[in-house]
Amino acid sequence: MDYGYQGKVAVITGGSSGIGLATVRFLLEQGAKVAFCARNEGRLDDVRRVLARDHDDDRILTQALSVLDPEAVGAFADAVRDRWGSCDLLVNNAGQGRVSTFADTTDADWREEYELKLFSQIHPIRAFLPLLRESHGSIVAVNSLLAYQPEPHMVCTSSARAGVQNMLKSLSLELAPEVRVNSVLLGLIESGQWTRRFAEREDQSQSRAEWYGNLAAKKGIPLGRLGDPTEAAAAIAFLGSRAASYITGAQLDVSGGLARHI
Ligand code: NDP
C-alpha cells in the first residue's frame, strides 16, 4: 500500500531499537527521509550503517540525545530544518516501561516515571511543532494498553501512561486543524524490553520460543503470541499517513486482542 510517504520527512525518537527501528525501516522503505535519535551514540551509528546498505544515506539523519533534554531536542529539530526544511511526521516512541508495585515504588521512581512519560512527548512536540504546523503534519505517540488497562505490578507506568493519553486528547483539539495527534496502545511487542527480560529469565534452560509462548499463554493474548515490531510500525505508519487524514485524537490498540475495554 502506498501511504504517501515518498519524499516526506519523518522524525522518530528512540529509533535505534525495537519498534522505533522497525518504524524507521518501514518509512525508509516507503520513500521517506527519516531522522531518528537515541541516547547511545555507538548503537545509533551501527544502526545507521546497516540501514545505509539498503537506503540512500542522504535520506537518513541521526542524532544522539535524550528526549528528556529540551535543548538537545531543540537542536535536533534545528538539524532537521537545516537538512530538509520540513517535518511531516513525528513519532514519539522513546522510552521504556517500569515494573514496580505501589509498595516498591519510591517517590523518586514516581517522579522519574512521570518525567519520562510526559516529557518524552512534550519536548519533541514543542520542538517540532513549528515544522509540523507548516507541513500540516501529524504526531503519533507510542503508548501502552496499560493506560486503559492498568496492572498492579506496573502501577506507576500505567498511571503515567493514562496521563499521556489525556494530554494527547487535549493536544489533538489545540493543534487541529493543522496537526493531527494520534496514538498506538501496545500490548506485548517482542522487542527491546522483552529481549532483556528473556535474557534475565529465572529458568535459563527455557528456549526463546518456549519463554515467549508461555508469556503469551500466561497473559491470555487472544491471538496467542506477542506482536512483532513490524506490526506496531505498520499501525504507526498508517496513523501518521494521508490514509488516516480524517483521524485525530484517536488511539489504535495493537495488542493481539488483549484490550478488554470497549
Ligand atoms: P527498545 O528498548 O527496543 O527501544 C527503545 C528505544 O528508545 C531505543 O532506541 C532507546 O535507545 C531509545 N530511548 C530510550 N530512552 C530514551 C531517551 N530518554 N531519549 C532518547 N531515546 C531513548 O523498546 P521497545 O521498542 O520495546 O519500546 C518502544 C516504546 O514502546 C517505548 O516507549 C516503550 O515503553 C513502548 N512500549 C513497548 C511495549 C513492548 O511490549 N515492547 C509495550 C508498551 C509500550 P537508547 O537506550 O540508546 O536511548
DSSP 204: T
- The protein residue whose alpha carbon is closest to atom 2 in ligand 1 is 192
- The protein residue whose alpha carbon is closest to atom 29 in ligand 1 is 93
From 12, 17, 145, the mutation candidate for ligand 1 (largest count of ligand atoms within 8 A of CB) is 17
Calpha distance 256→80 (Å, rounded)? 35
- Show the ligand 1 pocket: residues with CB < 6 angstroms: 13-20, 37-40, 43, 66-68, 93-97, 142, 144, 186, 188-189, 191-194
- The protein residue whose alpha carbon is closest to atom 44 in ligand 1 is 144
Do residues 240 and 89 touch, judged by C-beta distance below 8 A? yes
Distance 229 CA to ligand 1 centre (A): 11
**What is the model's pLDDT at position 2?**
81
Distance 148 CA to ligand 1 centre (A): 20
* Burial (CB count within 10 angstroms: exposed 0-12, middle 13-18, buried 19+), residue 74: middle
Calpha distance 38→12 (Å, rounded)? 9
- The protein residue whose alpha carbon is closest to atom 11 in ligand 1 is 38
Distance 89 CA to ligand 1 centre (A): 18
DSSP 98: -
Q: Please say whether the dihedral angle defined by the alpha carbons of residues 244, 249, 255 and 261, taken in this order, is positive or negative.
A: negative
Q: What is the atom index within ligand 1 of the atom nearest the CA of 68?
A: 18
DSSP assignments along 151-174, one per residue:
-TTBHHHHHHHHHHHHHHHHHHHH
Distance 96 CA to ligand 1 centre (A): 5
Overall pTM surpassing 0.95 (yes/no): yes
* Burial (CB count within 10 angstroms: exposed 0-12, middle 13-18, buried 19+), residue 53: exposed
- The protein residue whose alpha carbon is closest to atom 48 in ligand 1 is 39
> Which residues of the chain are under the pLDDT cut of 70?
none
DSSP 27: H
Could you tell me the three cell numbers for 140?
503519533
- Of residues 159, 150, 162, 153, the one with CA closest to residue 102: 153
